Amino acid sequence: MTTPISPTAVLITGANRGLGRALATRFLLQPNTTLIAAVRDPEHPTSKALFDLPRGDGTTVIVVKIDSLSDTDAQDAVKTLQTDHGIHKLDIVVANAGHGTVFGDLSLVKPHEVRHLVDVNTIGPLCLFQAVRPLLEAGNRPRFVLIGTPIASIGAMENSPFPMFAYGASKAAAHYLTRKIHCESPGLISFVVDPGFMQTDMGNTGARHFGYEQAFVPVDKSADFVFDQIKKATREQTSGKFVTIDETREFNEW
C-alpha cells in the first residue's frame, strides 16, 4: 500500500490583499496544498472571497485570524490549526503583512509612528515565528520568508533615499530577525525577499506622496518573482540572504 503524501502546508499573513492575495492565488493553483490564509478579519468580504479562488487537485484553503498588532493571535491560530484542522507541520510561512505609509525624515517623524510600525513590521513577524517554529521544524524543506524592502538596507541606504525612517527602521529590524532565524535554526531556510515597489494600495499611496502616478512594479510580476524564489529556495543558496527583484542590486545587499 502506498503511503499518501501529506499536502504542502503554506501559511501567508495578509493573504486577502495585494501581494499576499496574489501569492495565495498561486499556491492555491498547486496540487495537494493546504493554504492557510492569515488575515486581520476573517469575516471581511476580501477574506471570504479567498474560498472562491481556483484550486488545484486536492488543494484546500483555511482562513485564520492573525493581526500583527496582537501578541497572541499567531499562537491562537496555531492551536486552531492543530486542534480543528489536524495540521501539525508547516512547510512555508510567508510574513507578508505589514504597514509602511508613514512619511518623514528624522527631523519630522513622530516617535509614536515609529513605535507603531515596529509593532507591526518587527514584533508581528517575531510573534509569528515564535508561534510557527515547532510546526516549521516538522515541515518538509521548511521556509520562513519575510517580505522586505531595500528601504531597510543599511549598507545600501544611499540607493533608496526616500524619507521613510519609520518604515525603514522597522523593516531593518525585521531583516535582522530573519537572518537571525537563519543563524539560530540550521534546519530552516530563512530569507528576505524584496518584491519591488509594487502597485498595491500601500505602494501606490507612497508613489503619489512622492509625485509619481503609481508604483513601478505590477503586483503579478512581483508575485511571480516571490513565488519562484520561495519554490526554489535552499539552505545553501538562499537562506540568510536578501533576495531582490531589482537586477541592478547585489543578491545579498543588506
The residues, any chain, with a CB within 8 Å of residue 211's CB and separated by 6 or more, are none
Stretch (H or E) spanning 178: helix 165-184
- What is the C-alpha separation between 200 and 100, in angstroms, rounded? 12
Catalytic site residue from 89, 110, 167, 241: 167
Q: Which of 225-233's residues contact partners 24+ apart within 8 Å by CB, and which partners?
A: 225/193, 225/195, 225/196, 226/19, 226/23, 226/145, 226/147, 226/193, 226/195, 227/23, 227/26, 227/27, 229/145, 229/191, 229/193, 230/92, 230/94, 230/143, 230/145, 230/193, 233/143, 233/145, 233/189, 233/191
What amino acid is encoded at 50 in this protein?
L
User: Which set of grid coordinates corresponds to residue 132?
Assistant: 510557527
Q: Which of 76-84's residues contact partners 24+ apart within 8 Å by CB, and which partners?
A: 77/38, 77/131, 78/131, 78/132, 78/135, 81/36, 81/135
On whether the CB atoms of residues 229 and 252 are closer than 8 A, the answer is no
Catalytic site residue from 171, 180, 212, 221: 171
Q: Helix, strand, coil: what percent of the chain each, to 5?
A: 45, 15, 40
Decide if 167 is catalytic. Answer: yes
Decide if 65 is catalytic. Answer: no
Active-site residue set: 167, 171
